Amino acid sequence: MQRRILIIDDEDDIRQVAALSLEMVAGWEVVTASSGTQGIRRAQDEKPDAILLDVMMPGMDGPTTFQELRKIPGIARIPVILLTAKVQGADQKRFANLGVSAVLFKPFDPLTLAQQMSDALGWKD
């Protein structure tokens, strides 16, 4: 089954590497957004199967974007995986308490990113 993933990250390089990784390794369709606001619009338009969301972004950060996504009928139940360079225990606990599906860490391995996401979301295909 082909999955559609939305990547929301303000860093062009991260978006490109993650998108290529998910397309080439898993065969998933990937759409991207460079900000929280753009990501919310893309989520409404594209209805992805999951969202890979950067934590640290200018303007609307990842946790705020996640909270805004949860307020919108039709996309509120899309699973969200946070992507962060913050590995402190307090940060991890705060992210887990948001209600996201998982937290993955930068730098990520492009060869295992799709498997990490599938495992976190319970996808068996």
pLDDT class of 15 with cuts at 50, 70, 90: very high
Could you tell me the pLDDT band of residue 13, with boundaries at 50, 70 and 90?
Answer: very high
Q: Is residue 105 part of a domain?
A: yes
Output the average pLDDT for the chain.
93
**Start-to-end Cα distance in the chain:** 7
Q: For residue 125, what pLDDT is reported? A: 67
Percent helix, strand, coil in the chain, to 5, is 40, 20, 40
Q: Answer whether residue 124 is part of any domain.
A: no
**Does a structural domain hold residue 45?**
yes
In a domain, 123, yes or no: no
Q: Which of 9, 26, 1, 11 is nearest to 80 (CA)?
A: 9
CATH of the domain at 49: 3.40.50.2300
51 pLDDT tier (thresholds 50, 70, 90): very high
In this predicted structure, what is the pLDDT of residue 89? 66
pLDDT tens sequence across 80-111: 999 988 667 677 677 778 889 998 988 999 99
Count of domains forming the chain: 1
**Domain of residue 96, residue span:** 4-117
